[in-house]
Structure 1
């Protein structure tokens, strides 16, 4: 056994070192674009090479380029070379944009734009394109529109449309109208391919605007014009033109399939999406990757809705080279829906959590963009920070070089540590296998606890319902007793008792109707309580203008019951005594607020007010004694203001 292990280990080491040497040789063969850039001596040549080299960061980072450009810029500044300063600052602004410091890029671009008298048309074009790009990244679409208006004024015709900006803002209808107005008049009557592109774009804007039925009509028009183009034998077509036509057909079929998914026409959508994906994969071009991913996700959704769960899962688990944030969120959502369907709630929860993390990350990105927007609007250009950044990058680059040297020296130690790591992983796998049983037990216990909580909540809701019914029965008994009683004082006492019982019953009714059994929304409760009191005093209170200001205030049951009883007494007193000559101009104002642990309650009416001997009566009045005890229960004191018209009560509570 030992010779076999040594042979495998030797082969493993050989593969690593062979790959390392092969990568090093391949890297040496490819010429670094930054080295070629530095060979030029003229700023104009460097500027031209810089903007015509899209793959400039293959071997050197944007920070390396920034360091080189800054060295040349410093030289030009020392010699007062205005041409060099302009060229290098333009490159510097582009590099900051590529790094992601869009606010710095905008600041430099604005500085250059203010010197428009020294800028030729070529540099002005580059400058405006750069500002357009930065404002798009910062989502400052109004500024982006201003830049394109400037380009129009200068006679620049490339990239001066506005419909793409409207689409970025989510204004798809406006984008469609602008696109139709700009593009349709320019299409010759016999250019079937251009019409196919046109109707596909119009359909895309309608699809994004959630107008799927109308979008389908436009996509079908696109297919019709594409068939006319392909079948037109009078026009000789090159391989490239045939390729473009097939690519467009795949795009339109994908758009038709996505629209059908939106309309829940899942069976009709599947063949269109399959055809689109197949054609795009045959082309095997990186530019079609986003369309392949989007169509695959929609195809998975269609299969999921048709309960083809295995097919849907296979599609969702496909490996994609690049997937954007929105597509990742959609894939996680569909995987969660799949696991919900097969009742694997633990896995479903994991994918829901992943989407929550992604959304948190998007919020952080939005905050970063907002900060850059503020800096771009203010227009501050902190050159000292730029120099400091470059110096820090120099130090970082030097450290990286030293780390690479040290890494070569430590490679053997790393390989040895890999062996121990493998052994450690074996131990972890064993421990993991041992813990699976415990995890299952925990999951079962969690499920049991959740079921118990739901059962207890249901029981508590039922208790509140029964308490409310019992209190209503007490109220009914009091009503019966009232009918059998001839004493006016006894009838009045029974009616007051009935009103108080109704106030408490209303609390329990509101509780079992709420989703949250802990709190009561007081605005609705107070309004219901006033209606209940009015039903008791049938001849009074119906013309009084009642204002309740308690929106958004919630109280627990321990506070809500005392409040209900206090308010019941106050409203009853107003109805009975406040307006002896008629309540046509009567007003009641109720205010309740609670912030944190502190609250405030106020009640006032514009009636005749309290009698002068109220202090003596309050000692013998059951209503006033009850209110004082209830306020004491809320750890407060009832205050009465007799200086204004009518009466005003208030107190603070905790």
Structure 2
């Protein structure tokens, strides 16, 4: 019995670490992530004794002295276990070292002693690893302990490890498996009449039910825990149970009720005799989350500061790290990145002092969020990478979210550097793909989170030209989008049903209160009450009739809504399929047009070979150049994802190199000042491309004859909504002094004037140390408005 009592004390101490460790981000999120909430199970079900772990060197010296003076084999084992217990909060390596020494000593003893100590040491080791965030190792040792308990028929002890292993299954996302193990633990405890720990089991079960969305059952479960703890007069259990009840109401989105229950728990803590300061701090850490939802940031910070003041009475570095981290989160929500960064780094210092991996990963992620928000992507990547290194062995929800952030950042860097440094851009693209694939391999908190991961990976595959994988991701995006659409519809219907049921219950309660009041009044004035009751019965019948009519109308409306929703869903599928078919058809059209224009160009080329007249050859070459400029537009349209518009900067670069390759052996220096975000549809792009083709061709033919340093400048800017200015300038000899652009008779310049008018614009010419053409024009949307 002594060993079992020691084990439970250690379990209580372990629970504190998990409780604090996994409560970081819930304070600002009314819908906690399933993985984190599963981790929270242990924290809330297994309470701790503040007196069990000594904090001063005299206790450590005493433990070493006890080990040195121990004479019996079992006494040495007990001393080694106590030394391991001492370091549980201080140093994981020291804890494991002493437990392993105890295990080695046990292995040399007789089999009966081995049977007694081995499962217990496995149990201790499981708790130690899990309390420091090493879930896999904690699960492995927990399974070893469970196997030996079951082999020896130690059912009471097995029911305890069922709780621990069940919680660990919840932490890895296996919530249903965790629920089964907890129900098994409760059944064994009831069968053996071992009811002293049933309160803890019900607390665990409460949070598992919550994570499955079974909120009514969760409330019943936590009420059972409260009743158990009240029967045992267990203050900490009662206080923590009310705190969990508040968490469930917050999870359900009932913030007002959650705050009421939190206040009850806070009052209980303030009246407590057990001096559970750290438990009170954990509660205070939860309350600000409701104020953050309401954007009452100053009140939230005030609560956090109260928690820090209370922590001055303790030496809990982990809680200090957590609260500083949460204050950083508040400042980040307030867009005060400087203070957010300061508090995140302050929290990180506390986590680093105690070597806590989960806390460090949380801080790294917070710092990364700050740097990403201020567009310091390189710094953000450094801290996100540190977080993934800590979480790599877990592959949990947080790991998946951080990998998604890294994928996005590397893709952004790829997009911004692909022109300047191809090698660097390719490296970023490879990293983006790696992190994107990692993210979809991890669990996600909800459909929205999963959808965002697949969307970014689809974009990355498109950039790598892996169209097969991109198509697969696109199909997954469509599938998740449909699922999310259906879920939102179901949630809306359920919300209406819940509101109706709530109103119905409130109405029933109101009726019961009225009947009770009538019964009390009946003792005083029976005759008056008789008339009142008859009147109320008539009113009640009328109300019931109205309620029945309302319910029938509502049910009919709901059925019509469901029918319309189904119709809309089917029509959406048809429209989506038709849009996909039209998009494919339009791409094929652009492809065929491009091919036909290339054929025309080739025919002109063949025809020019048979013509000896130089003037005719030049005319055909000019026509061929114009055909190629139009073909390039159709080529860009069918190659890009957006088949309606083309990026004018990319088109200009390709057109320039295409013309230079055919007209000059020395390529002029190009100065291109075009915003990379400017795109035009085909109605604007083709005339604009032909104008640019004519001006570039003229420059190559006439501007740079015997010029040592030819230079071309192309500038496009949006003057105001829909109005643009295209400037084409060379440093050649320019037009003759008597040149008048509006009267020029050359086919090319006439074509420029006509196309400018087609774009509702005008072309002007100036000689600025070379020819300088200004083309003012309007895009398609503005032209349609004018028409």
Q: Name the TM-score class by shorter chain.
A: 0.3 to 0.5
TM-score (norm 1): 0.46
